[in-house]
Amino acid sequence: MQFVNVPGSDRVCLSKEDAIAMIAPGESVHVVCNVGNIFIGADWLRSDVIAQIYECVPEEAGPIATADGYGLVIYVDGAPYFVKTVKQEERGQVS
């Protein structure tokens, strides 16, 4: 299945490689989901986040989530989960 960015839509699909490059460093990564009017967060193993990226079509998050440091959206059973990310200018840099 192939998804393309649709003109007029603000949804931006990402390649698997680009999505993985966005994930914050570390063995665990903070992930949040919206349940009703409540955001619930938990630390996921990095390997589990990467595995889920390969099971869905990852997307760039909107400007508010991105500004809060959660610039990657992955889908679990059709529900969006927001993954902690590094800023674009910091990607690929080693600390």
pLDDT tens, 72-92? Answer: 999 999 899 999 999 766 656
pTM equals 0.84
Residue type, 61: A
50: its two tokens:
């990467």
Residue 36 confidence (pLDDT):
85
Residue type, 65: A
Residue 1 confidence (pLDDT):
34
Residue 90 confidence (pLDDT):
67
Q: How far apart are CA 64 and CA 94, in angstroms?
A: 27
- Identify the segments of the chain with pLDDT beneath 50: 1-3, 94-95
Residue 13 confidence (pLDDT):
92
